[in-house]
Amino acid sequence: MAENIDIASGEAQILSRYLIGKACSSEIEERYIIAVKKHQAEFDNEEQKAWNRMLASRLYLKLIDSGLAVTNPQSALRKRIFIMLALLETCPENIEFFLPQERSIFYLIPLGFRAGLSALYMIFGAITVKMLRIT
């Protein structure tokens, strides 16, 4: 059953760009495919439609991911995103994205803006998830 899981072409690259802003290596892409099959992160029909839209649009990906974070954090859609996040985090070439960095006090200004924007994504994402009946 795990062998029949549908993994879109370029799915790993899209998720990598979404999470850290750059493409992943082919080794991480291969590991992603193996991990998705092993953890059986498969979708029902509604989730598959939503996933296809998420892969086609970065805005939609962020919106649905944010909405599911509050409505259904354990969904198969977020499971695939977390699989990629875990793979990226364990790769030495991506270490600068995951270790703390020294910042100025003025960094709090854009950080506050991003926190407010994230709250809006969560609200509108939760509404979208409920409207689309994504479980």
What is the DSSP code (8-state) at residue 42?
-
Question: Please, are residues 63 and 128 in contact by the beta-carbon 8 Å criterion?
Answer: yes
Domain count, the chain: 1
36-85 tens-digit pLDDT: 999 888 888 888 999 999 999 999 999 999 999 999 999 999 999 999 99
> What does the pLDDT look like over 118-133, one tens digit per residue?
999 999 999 999 998 8
- The pLDDT of residue 58 is 94
**C-beta atoms surrounding 26 within 10 Å:** 10
Which range of residues forms the domain containing residue 115? 2-132
For residue 54, give both structure tokens.
Answer: 């998420």
**Span 99-118, mean pLDDT?**
93
